[in-house]
Amino acid sequence: MRWFLWVDLDAYYVSCELRDRPDLLGRPVIVGPDPREGPSRGVVLSASYEARAQGVHSAMPVAQAGRLSPEATWIRPDHAKYERISEEVRALLRTKYPFLRPQSIDEVIVEFEAEAPEQVDSEARALQTMIGTRANLPASVGASTYRIVAKIASDRAKPAGVRVVPPAEVAAFLAPLPVRAIPGVGPKTEALLRDHQVETIGQMAPGLPPALRRMLGSFAREIVALARGQPVEVEPDEETGPRSRSVDRTFDEDVGNADELSSAAIELARLLGDSLEREGLMFRSVSVAVRWEDFQRVQRGRTLPAYQHGPAALQLVAPRLVRELWSEERRGRRRRARLVSVRAERLRPAPSGQRDLDDFARPPED
DNA sequence: TCTGGGGTCCTAGGACCC
DNA sequence: TCTGGGGTCCTAGGACCC
């Protein structure tokens, strides 16, 4: 039987930092911009379990975290380090398991064949020990013959635990869990389900009322099947590379004029275009987004007549789109902007040897 | 308390084509 | 003069995840 071990590195960014700062073990540690260094619009990226015990969690505004945990040690994020360590862990796992599927910077699925759940349990513990001793990182592992159940099990195993769910026990394992334990069920869906007296996964097993099915679309079928212990699993697509790439900027103070917003978009377009060019990626669509001061977000995009590379097309189209959004807003609510972003979509590798030939404008493809 | 930065997927309407 | 059904692409918005 094929099993999936869902490996999730605990409090990942904090754990990466603690490798270099063992003196901070057992203390509240927060990775994020230190609020004591001045007013900031930043949020917590990761908090140690000691900080979490005080109510701090990731995505929380740093000012609030600073009040909840005044004695916490703050560490500035170092994304290059986290990427490097993530690759280190994957390389380590590959020495023992050829079938790896990275899911995010701190999650990876390991596939292997086994029969008895006891065998899976000892495999999971061996893997956990390997990451602990060789990479010096704590990990939790969930195991199931279904990917999604392995994921849910790893969440329940945190921190530093192992949870094996045999196929016959899937429905019973899930039944008491809150609907929010399902990946894809966030605050909105949770509230919608609660409005219909659905609070646990088990309550969905008999099926959902028609009104909910309409609201949830195809997702309704998936979560009901899951609740019955028979999740629909699709083989993940082969590695296809990223579909889009974006950069954004949150202003220190909200912006109330078109020129400043437009200049910011041009600057972001340059950064994005340069970075895509370095990686040898072309793009076919450009979109921009603005977040207004009330946090509402609007977006506008264009598909280009042909694939482009480098910053030129982005720097031309992005400010134009931003000004369109701006003009529309001026005719209406006239809010100021707190964030602008530029995204390149429909990426594909540039054919080798053509990356620098501007004049080789190709006819539209697709 | 006042909300980062980077992504993915789904839906729905309209345009357009056969 | 009034009319089908199906498919794909484009665009905007929303929900969610790490």
With tokens 């230190």, the residue in question is A34
Residue A66 CA, nucleotide B14 C1', distance (Å): 50
Is residue A366's beta carbon less than 7 angstroms from any atom in nucleic acid strand C? yes
Q: Which of A293, A300, A304, A287 is nearest to A328 (CA)?
A: A300
Residue A169 near residue A149, CB atoms below 8 Å: no
With tokens 């409005």, the residue in question is A195
The per-residue pLDDT for A237 is 72
The residues close to strand B, meaning Cβ under 7 A, are: A 41-43, 45, 58-59, 61, 63-64, 67, 217-219, 242-250, 294-295, 338-339, 341, 343
- Closest residue, by C-alpha, to the C1' of B9: A184
Residue A189 CA, nucleotide B14 C1', distance (Å): 28
Is residue A332's beta carbon less than 7 angstroms from any atom in nucleic acid strand C? no
Q: Nearest nucleotide, C1' to the C-alpha of A151?
A: C17
Q: How many whole angstroms separate alpha carbon A165 and alpha carbon A150? A: 8
Tell me how far apart the 2 most distant CA atoms of chain A are, in Å: 66
Amino acid at A30: I
Is residue A168's beta carbon less than 7 angstroms from any atom in nucleic acid strand C? no
**Residues facing residue A164 across a β-bridge:** A143
- pTM higher than the cut 0.75: yes
Residue A11 near residue A48, CB atoms below 8 Å: yes
Q: How many whole angstroms separate alpha carbon A355 and alpha carbon A359? A: 11
The per-residue pLDDT for A352 is 76
Residue A181 CA, nucleotide C18 C1', distance (Å): 15
The H or E element that residue A311 is part of is helix A311-330
Q: How many whole angstroms separate alpha carbon A288 and alpha carbon A268? A: 10
Q: How confident is the model over A148-179, as pLDDT tens digits?
A: 999 999 999 999 999 999 999 999 999 999 99
The per-residue pLDDT for A248 is 97
Could you report the average pLDDT of every consecutive run of 10 residues in chain A (366 residues)? 97 97 97 92 96 96 96 96 97 95 96 96 98 98 98 97 98 98 96 96 96 93 96 81 96 96 98 97 97 96 96 97 96 96 96 54 43
Q: How many whole angstroms separate alpha carbon A275 and alpha carbon A243? A: 15
The per-residue pLDDT for A353 is 59
In 3-state terms, what secondary structure has residue A183? coil
A99: left (phi over 0), alpha (psi -120 to 50) or beta: beta
The per-residue pLDDT for A235 is 78
Alpha helices in A95-174 (DSSP H): 117-134, 147-157, 170-174
- Closest residue, by C-alpha, to the C1' of C18: A104
Residue A144 near residue A153, CB atoms below 8 Å: yes
Q: How many whole angstroms separate alpha carbon A327 and alpha carbon A124? A: 56
Residue A254 CA, nucleotide B3 C1', distance (Å): 14
Residue A116 near residue A137, CB atoms below 8 Å: no
Q: How many whole angstroms separate alpha carbon A317 and alpha carbon A310? A: 13
Residue A28 CA, nucleotide C18 C1', distance (Å): 21
Amino acid at A283: F
Is residue A262's beta carbon less than 7 angstroms from any atom in nucleic acid strand C? no
Q: Which of A84, A83, A64 is nearest to A72 (CA)?
A: A64
Is residue A171's beta carbon less than 7 angstroms from any atom in nucleic acid strand C? no
Q: Nearest nucleotide, C1' to the C-alpha of A364?
A: C9
- Closest residue, by C-alpha, to the C1' of B1: A64
Amino acid at A274: D
The per-residue pLDDT for A321 is 97
Residue A250 CA, nucleotide C13 C1', distance (Å): 21
Protein-proximal nucleotides of chain C (any atom < 7 Å from a CB):
9-18
Protein-proximal nucleotides of chain B (any atom < 7 Å from a CB):
1-12
Q: Nearest nucleotide, C1' to the C-alpha of A186?
A: C16
- Given the residues A107, A222, A277, A329, select the one marked as catalytic: A107
Is residue A244's beta carbon less than 7 angstroms from any atom in nucleic acid strand C? no
Residue A36 CA, nucleotide B11 C1', distance (Å): 44
Q: What is the DSSP letter of A56?
A: -
Residue A205 near residue A228, CB atoms below 8 Å: yes
Q: How confident is the model over A277-334, as pLDDT tens digits?
A: 999 999 999 999 999 999 999 999 999 999 999 999 999 999 999 999 999 999 999 9
A107 tagged catalytic: yes
